[in-house]
Chains A and B, each alone.
Chain A
Amino acid sequence: MIIAEAKPNSELLEMVSDCSKVLVVGCKGCVTVCNVGGAKEVGVLAATLKIARRRQGRTIAVDEVTLERQCDPEYVDEIKDRIGDYDAVISIACGVGPQFLSERYPSARVFPGVNTKFMGGAVAHGVWEERCAGCGQCVIHNFGGICPIARCSKSLQNGPCGGSDHGKCEISKDVDCIWDVIVRKMMSQGRLDELLKFRPPKSWTTSRDGGPRKMIREELRI
């Protein structure tokens, strides 16, 4: 899923400083699962804004809504009758949400309430890790099912580099060297020869480097 992190409340407060009526929009997708943009967090943000305004001796009206998904026009449509009532909208979905909202409602002011971080999963309660960089041409089968594009600090396909240190990446003792993991796994499976194969430069055309990406599946179009 997409992992996001709440923006500091001070930043959000600054964004809506000239607003007196705000709609906080959550999303029941990824951000609900990673506890940052679901109905609960919508409630917390609404309360926080009101408390902050109480402190300032001003009031603010904050309404709450959590859509099924913000990355789907069908659900974004659901607030079409009320969106005009607000000075601003704070979307706490991933970066897709606020953009779908601003595209659908061109006259609305839409603020992003979270920082969208990466594609990954929860490795423990409250701990998320990146797994995929969306390169558009998956090659993890060459690396023991582990992605060096997303998980090696240098995206090396012929790693590890000389900075690998006791299983840790040169950038930090808190970051695992994924190449260490790849090598050990391939060795334990007796497939070292596969790693010794030269991996030629990757084509990044399917990645973000190829420009904004779009996908069309004719069989699904109506």
Chain B
Amino acid sequence: MDEFTPRIVAFCCSNCAAAAATIADGLQHVLPENVKIIQVPCTGRIEVLHLLKPFEEGADGVYVAGCQEDSCRYTSGISKAARRVAHVQKILEEIAIEPERIAVFNVSAGMGHAFTEIAREMTRKVREIGPIQA
């Protein structure tokens, strides 16, 4: 049986997460191919609808990678994002979809290794849950 490769969309803050991605690149920590990165200037600007769209378009998992809570470039962007992720989790639950398909992670600019680790971690998790459409 072929192993299921989940399609995952990651919204990444260009201040920290994307910087971490660059470092990761330099360190040759390769990002898994199934994870599609969307850079955003600040995760605080990601709306609920943005987080839902990938699911509508066929993604199996979504995550937001932004700054640490206490070092957000725009003060509270990442905590706003976290509240919206929680809201999307509630929506998913209401329509009988595993809320673990969406998550939020905090990384800082220097954490290249952590950045790729998150992508792998999320892939593992969503693979375990399985595809949205059974």
Contact = CB atoms under 8 A, between A and B. Distances in A.
Interface residues on B, range: 10 to 19
B132 A55 contact: yes
A47 B92 CA distance: 11
Interface in A98-128: none
B30 interface: no
B44 to A, nearest CB: 13
A32 to B, nearest CB: 15
Interface stretch (A8-16, A19-27, A153-161): A8-16
A54 B91 CA distance: 14
B55 to A, nearest CB: 5
Interface string A35-69: 00000100110011011101101000000000000
A47 B47 CA distance: 13
B47 A57 contact: no
| Of A10, A44, A51, A57, most B-chain CB atoms within 10 Å | A51
Nearest to B52: A47
A50 to B, nearest CB: 5
B97 interface: yes
Interface string B99-133: 00000000000000000000000000000000011
Nearest to A7: B94
Nearest to A50: B56
B97 A52 contact: yes
Contacts of A55: 95-97, 132-134
Interface of B: 47-49, 52-53, 55-56, 58, 91-92, 94-97, 132-134
Given A47-B52, A55-B97, A55-B132, 15 more contacts: A8-B94, A9-B91, A10-B94, A10-B96, A47-B53, A47-B56, A48-B91, A51-B55, A51-B56, A51-B132, A54-B55, A54-B58, A55-B95, A55-B96, A57-B134
A38 to B, nearest CB: 12
A198 B70 CA distance: 56
Given A54-B132, A55-B132, A57-B133, A47 B49 contact: yes
Nearest to A54: B133
A19 to B, nearest CB: 15
A49 to B, nearest CB: 8
